[in-house]
Chain A
């Protein structure tokens, strides 16, 4: 099934950014290259470029997330766009007012871009199909489906340390079932040509038929990260720590927590990543999170540049090509 042709326009330009699945490799590389240019902006006296001056970006968050919203807000502001934050209680749309009604209200405000986070998979695409032509939608995380900008900042960080994707071994460890980050990362790594992608976790946290996405499946952490160049640790949500999925955060740490000793199983120069926020002592030991192999803080910095790249590309796609 051809997924989401809606995000590309007839010239193959990125009009919306909803999922990484089925995007051409060149487009991902273009995002990374643009992001590379934007990282420089963050090092200057004035950390702003006038690219999106006069444009209005609405952060439409149906699910609370201060971190992600802040990086999108910062990215938009560094592009000189005007930013509005709207946090909509999930209950408001579930009862009575439909999502379409909410949108119609917002469209009246003359918005150029919606950055959407929603608890339901597919919501940003639904919105993208409703908005007027000339309005772009960026997915800031939907249900378990996708978190494409997070995945792009992850591969951006990987490329800075390990530019040869075709030689890489990457392990993604933790709760894959509920993770939109993992899904988008798998698509991005696959498209960029990473030959060895592994998912590691207990059977309760790996979704049915995950191998159909082209990944190796491991239930043992030591085996799963053996020799890998990149270890991506996923956040374990509080509500899953003591549930029918896992007995406790304590037991999880003992089986799947990344400690300095276990990290030795990975390649000597392996990097350790985490989309944040970190649960120290649950999925990762502080000594690893703060250690010299950790690139977790770089991920945060790169997140701004990557989002600036995506935002300027999608809004640039509406240019009437001369």
Chain B
């Protein structure tokens, strides 16, 4: 299908473009920017006047819950929600049931995603068998079937020797490892950031040191093994500064931050509301401000939705007994634009963090509107106002502390591989 996106402000940081122009798509590729190619007749003409046109967002690690937890969410529901949130590629985490540690599960996910009108899915394989943290997963097989990275997501490996071997092995295969920095003991009983608020409301704390120590350990092992790694959702200022120092020493490592961590802090956990329960925890205001600065300075590479949909029961209880996680796709764009509005980051840098950087981290052919690139495009109206409500959220998981909030900015069109998968106007 031939598509023309007309008159929008095109922001394509990978190619240094920020201009009002037209985008031409033919088949699954971008064929022209600005000047109409000869004999091009658009079957679909999208009026993007007053809107932003940018490469589709790439989410580095989202929990799609299928197979195994379909009562929380399904591949179809979440890929649809992702597309409506501006995402064109979603990397799904291996913490399903069964765990993504065999090619069969990867195939199952690919098969379920086929025909879904939504974002493209890429699998992250397990780093250890069953995510058990003891035996290495068959990473070569996972790579062959198409896994873009490996991770022990949700269950950081406690045994340092196992981790070192896992990193060395992944490095042998050229696989990027997604790490979560967390000391397994310091944070073991905690459910929220350790500080004045945890003391006041009587919840067990996770000290910021748990993340920093976990990060420091992992950085040393990365230096030793030469593995390529990416840290998922850093939450505290101290960890960010450790990461910065490691990079200065020449370590090739990247990191992202979750959108909620740029907005919420521990003090927001009023009344033990389980919707604020997320891991790593919401930290102090000082940490949040440091994360914002680090993202703007591109010391934190990517911004993610940290999407973790849950069923209502998972949050129907007191904070400590609830499952951690926030459903992030639906509110991602308006919350990210709030950062621009607040002067915390430039729009082009934001697009870089949402699309260009994550694609680069996992070597995905995405994050660009360059000629000949796969046409993964997001068109959004930065001024559109809407309210997060059970009726407006597309994710099956309605677990968000932003429920009921007035939001500004909405994706109007999402194109994945030249196919229009989301159109708000229709």
Q: Touch between A and B in complex, CB under 8 Å?
A: yes
- Enumerate chain A interface residues (CB-CB to B < 8 A): 1-4, 6, 21, 93-94, 98-100, 118, 120-123, 125-126, 142-146, 180, 183, 207-210, 212-213
- In the complex, what residue of chain A is closest to B311 when comparing beta carbons? A98
Residues from chain A with a CB closer than 8 A to the CB of B207 are: 208
Q: Are A208 and B195 in contact (CB under 8 A)?
A: yes
Residues from chain B with a CB closer than 8 A to the CB of A183 are: 200, 202
Q: A264–B409 Cα gap in the complex (Å)?
A: 68
Q: A149–B151 Cα gap in the complex (Å)?
A: 48
Residues from chain A with a CB closer than 8 A to the CB of B204 are: 144
Q: Are A208 and B270 in contact (CB under 8 A)?
A: no
- Do A94 and B321 contact each other (CB < 8 Å), given the known contacts A121-B202, A122-B201, A208-B199? yes
Q: Bits for B264-303, please: 1 = Cβ < 8 Å to A, else 0.
A: 0001101110100000000000000000000000000000
- Chain B, interface size category, equals 20 to 34
- Do A122 and B320 contact each other (CB < 8 Å), given the known contacts A3-B270, A6-B271, A145-B272? yes
Q: Are A143 and B199 in contact (CB under 8 A)?
A: no
Q: Tell me, rounded to whole Å, the shortest Cβ–Cβ distance linking B71 to chain A.
A: 13
Q: A94–B316 Cα gap in the complex (Å)?
A: 11
Q: Of A1, A2, A121, which contacts B319 at CB under 8 A?
A: A121
Q: Tell me, rounded to whole Å, the shortest Cβ–Cβ distance linking B204 to chain A.
A: 7
Q: Bits for B111-123, please: 1 = Cβ < 8 Å to A, else 0.
A: 0000000000000
Q: A213–B200 Cα gap in the complex (Å)?
A: 7
Residues from chain B with a CB closer than 8 A to the CB of A210 are: 199
Q: Are A98 and B201 in contact (CB under 8 A)?
A: no
Q: Are B318 and A122 in contact (CB under 8 A)?
A: yes
Q: Are B196 and A212 in contact (CB under 8 A)?
A: yes
- Do A143 and B203 contact each other (CB < 8 Å), given the known contacts A1-B267, A1-B270, A122-B272? yes
Q: Tell me, rounded to whole Å, the shortest Cβ–Cβ distance linking B280 to chain A.
A: 17
Residues from chain B with a CB closer than 8 A to the CB of A93 are: 317, 321
Q: Tell me, rounded to whole Å, the shortest Cβ–Cβ distance linking B62 to chain A.
A: 25
- In the assembled complex, B198 has its CB within 8 A of some CB on chain A: yes
- In the complex, what residue of chain A is closest to B269 when comparing beta carbons? A1
Q: A144–B192 Cα gap in the complex (Å)?
A: 13
Q: Tell me, rounded to whole Å, the shortest Cβ–Cβ distance linking A212 to chain B.
A: 4
- In the assembled complex, B159 has its CB within 8 A of some CB on chain A: no
- In the assembled complex, B194 has its CB within 8 A of some CB on chain A: yes
Q: A282–B194 Cα gap in the complex (Å)?
A: 29
Q: Are A98 and B313 in contact (CB under 8 A)?
A: yes
- Do A213 and B317 contact each other (CB < 8 Å), given the known contacts A4-B271, A208-B205? no
Q: Are B199 and A213 in contact (CB under 8 A)?
A: yes
Residues from chain B with a CB closer than 8 A to the CB of A4 are: 271
Q: Are B316 and A122 in contact (CB under 8 A)?
A: no
Task: Tell me the chain B residues, 179-199 only, with Cβ under 8 Å from chain A.
Answer: 194-196, 198-199
Q: Are B195 and A145 in contact (CB under 8 A)?
A: no
Q: Are A98 and B270 in contact (CB under 8 A)?
A: no
5 closest residue pairs by CB, A with B = A122-B272, A145-B202, A144-B202, A209-B196, A212-B196
Residues from chain B with a CB closer than 8 A to the CB of A98 are: 313, 316-317
Residues from chain B with a CB closer than 8 A to the CB of A121 are: 201-203, 272, 318-320
Q: A208–B201 Cα gap in the complex (Å)?
A: 12
- In the complex, what residue of chain B is closest to A21 when comparing beta carbons? B200
Q: Are A120 and B320 in contact (CB under 8 A)?
A: yes
- Interface centre among B194, B207, B271, by most chain A C-beta atoms within 10 angstroms, is B271
| CB<8 Å pairs between A and B, sample of 23 | A1-B267, A4-B271, A93-B321, A99-B317, A118-B318, A120-B319, A121-B318, A122-B201, A122-B271, A122-B319, A123-B321, A125-B271, A126-B318, A144-B203, A144-B204, A145-B272, A183-B200, A208-B194, A208-B196, A208-B199, A208-B205, A209-B196, A209-B199
Q: Are B271 and A209 in contact (CB under 8 A)?
A: no
Q: Are B270 and A142 in contact (CB under 8 A)?
A: no
Q: A12–B404 Cα gap in the complex (Å)?
A: 27
Q: A164–B201 Cα gap in the complex (Å)?
A: 29
Q: Tell me, rounded to whole Å, the shortest Cβ–Cβ distance linking A263 to chain B.
A: 28
Q: A4–B273 Cα gap in the complex (Å)?
A: 11
Residues from chain B with a CB closer than 8 A to the CB of A143 are: 202-203, 318, 320
Q: A6–B198 Cα gap in the complex (Å)?
A: 20
Q: Tell me, rounded to whole Å, the shortest Cβ–Cβ distance linking A87 to chain B.
A: 18
Residues from chain A with a CB closer than 8 A to the CB of B268 are: 1
- Do A208 and B198 contact each other (CB < 8 Å), given the known contacts A1-B270, A2-B270? yes
Q: A6–B273 Cα gap in the complex (Å)?
A: 13
Q: Bits for B205-223, please: 1 = Cβ < 8 Å to A, else 0.
A: 1010000000000000000
Q: A107–B354 Cα gap in the complex (Å)?
A: 48
Residues from chain B with a CB closer than 8 A to the CB of A122 are: 201, 203, 271-272, 318-320
- Do A99 and B316 contact each other (CB < 8 Å), given the known contacts A6-B271, A125-B272? yes
Residues from chain A with a CB closer than 8 A to the CB of B194 are: 208
Q: Of A99, A118, A209, which contacts B195 at CB under 8 A?
A: A209
Residues from chain A with a CB closer than 8 A to the CB of B205 are: 207-208
* Known contacts A2-B270, A21-B200; 11 further A-B pairs (Cβ under 8 A): A100-B317, A120-B317, A120-B320, A121-B319, A122-B201, A144-B203, A207-B198, A207-B199, A207-B205, A208-B205, A209-B199
Residues from chain A with a CB closer than 8 A to the CB of B203 are: 121-122, 143-145
